[in-house]
Structure 1
Amino acid sequence: MTLIDAWPEHVLAMQERGIILTEPGREARIPLRALHIGQVQSLYKDPIDLAFVCVKLYDTDWATALIAPYLSPSGYIVTLQNGLAEERIAAVAGWERTVGCVGGGMYVKLDGPGCVTRARHPGRSISKIFYVGEVHGCVTPRVRQLAEMLDHVDATGCTTNLWGLRWSKLVANTMTSALCAAGGLSLKRLFSEPGSQQLMLRLAGEAIGVGTALGYAVEPIFGVEAGRWMAAAAGDSHCLVDVGAAFHAQCEVLTEASLSGTAQDIAKGRRTEIDYMNGYVVARATEAGLSAPLHAALTALIKKMELGQLSPGRESVSALATV
């Protein structure tokens, strides 16, 4: 395994001592090969069979262009990212070299150079953590092999509905990640507090409505069918019970240290993926002749936080309840 990164201190730490991986109940030090992006040209002697692109969505194009020339003749790229990134990968590397992987419920963060923490208990989810699939929907030998590999990390399955799963993951991300950042809450608290639960439900309803209008076969989100989320958002009491149980199940597997990627970016003063997440839902809603007002309001809120014009906290999201 070779890890490639642009942060010099991170690369140096991995080169000296490997990755220190901490999750509930265990800590492991994992030796591996690490390269800075300036060292990638050394791969011409040792081409890559399988490349995971795990960068922020706004870095997808250059990261793909960086690694594509060093793929082996049968090598391919796996888009282990949020959002719908396959088209951008394929535009650089080709569709035949593009495989999708939807990761949900990983809840990890980079604590410092060479140190990664997972804030949930592995193997305790009602759904798979990873789903891998071809963009054309067939289950191929390389997809089966990839699933077997990732199953060593956590529960993995193959999918024939990559695009529907992609949109489902987008729903899960857009109902939690930015809201976690804006409210200054841990994900565990986000899933447990009534006020944030109501906002998450509304965000889910808007995003599922857009995905359905665009023709995606939206898969269950947090174990609840898309139609039941929509019904719950409309006030159906039976479906509200299902959604409440899904929120409780997430609380059970999370620790108080759980923070969304957007919350981590805001805390570090980094650019967020908001334009590719909630902002993307707004853009696709316009394309479908719909609106997504709560996603639009949350996008605007995060953009102000990126610029330092607002700070995370309950007062920053109180206005969302009136949208």
Structure 2
Amino acid sequence: MNIAIYGAGSLGTIMGAYLSQSAENVDLIDVNEEHINKLNENGATIKGSIEFHSKVNAITPDKINKKYDLVLLLTKQIYNNDVLPIIKNILNTDGILLSLQNGVPEHFISETIPKEQIIAGSVEFGATYAEPGVSNLTTTYDTFKEYALQIGELNGVVTERIKNIKEVLEHIGGVFVSSNLIGTKWSKLLINSSFSGLSAACGCTYGDIMDDEVGIQSALYIISEGIQVAEKQGIEFEIMSGVDFTQFKIIDNIEKQTKKLKMIMESNRKLEASMLQDLQKGRKTEIHYINGLVAQEGDNTDIPTPYNDKIVEIVSEAENKKTVPQFSESIAEFAKIIEQKKELLI
């Protein structure tokens, strides 16, 4: 099987390193030429919660000279207009695109790639780009090996091809097949919108959010907003990494629920959101496809989403000014929302 990892950044480098240990033919594809050159010269190096090294084959998109049976799509949604026509051209006629992008982009992807060639999934581990050829695994290794990916057919049917792909991808880590892919994607969106959104909006790690009273309460309310918006559309959430996030739909015991949320997220304490890494590099983020999606759907369903709105506001301003938000300033903004909620309850 010819496999392409399209978007071999922090996550893709880790997936490529492990997949390259299998019997499959694996190419890591990325536009970062320095990164590609280092991968070819020195192999992929994984640090952080594990020390791992693997020889890989890496190329830039202009050097692609074959068709692929399976393409793992890991680029950001903001590049889809440019990336998807390339994917269409490099897929075999019976090839499969596995969308692993954040958010819920599959409807848009199907406008370019035939729907029957698309499966989707969610990445359940975290990573940061350290330097060319090197990626840091920020999720604990045991968690990564138990819960790396969820994948599923768009119609929820557990087919033979999804079982075959699961078997291939298990060279990376634990892979679960979902019969409710949209519920899986929304479960992942709850984490992206809360901890990734706050990480970007506050310029900090997940652990910094967890250790701050306002930060962890804000994460809780962001999850609650996402659940209410999705359920209004008839979305049924899936268990993710053994966790049922719908327990946070109604916030009625702050102390107990924040303690529970901290326990759930502890293995990701060291993670910095990829959106924060984008801001640090002066790049555009996916904020409008993550917190912006929740905020937009909240508007459509008449559900208030003040926390998601604030994250979109802060990150958008940082993008425009090419700055990184300051923790104390952003936390003060979320503290104001918490106080406003308390006043409404009096």
**TM-score of the aligned structures, taking structure 1 as reference length:** 0.90
Matched, 1:17 2:42: yes
Of 274, 283, 299, which residue of structure 1 is paired with 2:312?
A: 299
**1:318 maps to amino acid:** A
Match of 2:59, SS state, is strand
Q: Which residue of 1 aligns with 2:176?
A: 157
Mind listing any 5+ residue stretches in structure 2 that lack a counterpart? 1-25, 338-346
- How far apart are the structure 1 equivalents of 2:336 and 2:123? 32
Equivalent residue runs for 1:1-323 within 5 Å? 1-28=26-53, 30-40=54-64, 42-43=65-66, 47-104=67-124, 106-124=125-143, 128-220=147-239, 223-231=242-250, 233=251, 235-236=252-253, 241=256, 243-251=258-266, 253-254=267-268, 256=270, 258-308=271-321, 311-323=325-337
- How far apart are the structure 2 equivalents of 1:179 and 1:221? 20
**Deviation at 1:149?**
2.2
The answer to which of 120-129 and 222-231 deviates more is 120-129
- How far apart are the structure 2 equivalents of 1:305 and 1:15? 35
**Deviation at 1:189?**
2.5
Count matched residues. Answer: 311
- How far apart are the structure 1 equivalents of 2:77 and 2:325? 24
Say if 1:181 and 1:312, in contact at 8 Å, map to a contact too.
no
> Deviation string for 1:264-284 (max 9, x for gaps)?
111111111101110111111
Match of 1:59, SS state, is helix
Match of 1:77, SS state, is strand
Say if 1:304 and 1:310, in contact at 8 Å, map to a contact too.
no
The answer to which of 304-313 and 218-227 deviates more is 218-227
Say if 1:224 and 1:246, in contact at 8 Å, map to a contact too.
no
**Deviation at 1:305?**
1.2
Say if 1:223 and 1:246, in contact at 8 Å, map to a contact too.
no
> Deviation string for 1:29-78 (max 9, x for gaps)?
x22221112222x22xxx20000110011112321210211212321100
**Deviation at 1:137?**
0.5
Distance change in 2, residues 1:157/1:16 (3 Å): same
- How far apart are the structure 2 equivalents of 1:291 and 1:79? 30
Match of 2:283, SS state, is coil
- How far apart are the structure 1 equivalents of 2:207 and 2:152? 30
> Deviation string for 1:188-213 (max 9, x for gaps)?
23223322110001111111100000
- How far apart are the structure 1 equivalents of 2:52 and 2:146? 25
Say if 1:203 and 1:295, in contact at 8 Å, map to a contact too.
yes
**Deviation at 1:12?**
1.7
Say if 1:13 and 1:114, in contact at 8 Å, map to a contact too.
yes
Say if 1:58 and 1:273, in contact at 8 Å, map to a contact too.
yes
Distance change in 2, residues 1:272/1:152 (3 Å): same
**Deviation at 1:247?**
1.3
The answer to which of 277-286 and 122-131 deviates more is 122-131
Distance change in 2, residues 1:218/1:304 (3 Å): same
Match of 1:109, SS state, is strand
Match of 1:124, SS state, is helix
**1:133 maps to amino acid:** G
- RMSD over aligned CA atoms reads 2.1
The answer to which of 281-290 and 221-230 deviates more is 221-230
> Deviation string for 1:289-318 (max 9, x for gaps)?
323121111100111111236632221231
**Deviation at 1:103?**
1.2
**Deviation at 1:27?**
3.0
**Deviation at 1:255?**
5.2
Q: Which residue of 1 aligns with 2:19?
A: none
